[in-house]
Amino acid sequence: MTVRLPIVRSDAGPEAEPAPAPRRRHPDWLRVPMPGGDGYQALRRMVKELGLHTVCQSASCPNIGECWNHRALTIMILGDICTRSCRFCDVATGRPLPVDHGEPARVATMLAALELNHTVITSVDRDDLPDGGAQIWAETLHACHAAAPEMTIEVLVPDFKGALNDVDTVLDAGPDVFAHNLETVPRLSREVRVQARYDRSFAVLRRARERGALVKTGLMLGLGEELAEVREVIDQLAALGLTILTLGQYLQPSKKHLPVHRYVHPDEFAELKRHALAAGVVHVESGPLVRSSYHAEGQAELIHRLQAGAGKVGFASLRPRTG
């Protein structure tokens, strides 16, 4: 018996096969130009030549073009492989390489060469290390203070698995701003951050504030949180004495990450900023494209003003400055 195969016509109409599902498009307020320009290219070359890592690249930040053209970047120390698998983050997860003890000096060399007023340093989570990398954090800060004494430094640290003595190691090295991100509201924290805990992160922020640091944190919106939950977190942070808050839109880095639950309108970001300022947070960056370090370079004058006005608030205010 001969089986006749169906004939497939090249001019088959749209019913020949199902159309692919429409791709979800970002709203207009989330579109940014492709990175480029002389400043961007120069900074890119310097980062590569010195063998440094930046969270701007590793986390696929949408603001990399704008920031790098303004000579603003976030250095990422302790390698570029994280021991955690947060479901929002595009940084690679796996077994990190051994600690590079020459990294603090290279970071200090680059930041001094850029002649920045302010910079941000962050790191991957290093749960494989007994101190979570706290000692390398301290060495990096000491090297940067020596190489660029006029530069203010913001540290964006992991939670060190709640070991407050490791938090103290970083604080003792004199950062101007101590930042640790809560990322989302308590109800969603385990789903979004997996190996982290909201109460542990809040305890890290509390310890820094009790030690007299200028404290900063950030939240992503669009993960399924309710605005009432965000306001409640803001009120808790204001009561803590938070100095700087960032609020931005979560964007899905890839299909394996958490999907965007909704795109938060700029008007809602503006309303949350008003709420935070009214609650007592000193400075708020709130908008769809805001990230942890967004416009951080513009906060140097704010930091100096707060340090001068509050005496010993901010450890780096105790460091002698020239000029």
Strands 152-156 and 177-179: parallel
The reply, when asked if residue 61 is annotated as ligand binding, is: yes
Q: Alpha carbon of 36 to those of 32, 230, 249, 288: distances in Å?
A: 12, 35, 23, 21
Give every CB contact of residue 314 below 8 A, 6+ residues apart in sequence. 176, 177, 212, 213, 214, 303, 306, 307
Handedness of CA 177, 297, 61, 92 (dihedral sign): negative
Report how far residue 79's alpha carbon sits from residue 216's, in angstroms, rounded to the nearest whole number.
23
Tokens, residue 112 = 């001094």
The reply, when asked if residue 144 is annotated as ligand binding, is: no
Binding-site positions for [4Fe-4S] cluster read 56, 61, 67, 82, 86, 89, 293
Binding-site positions read 56, 61, 67, 82, 86, 89, 293
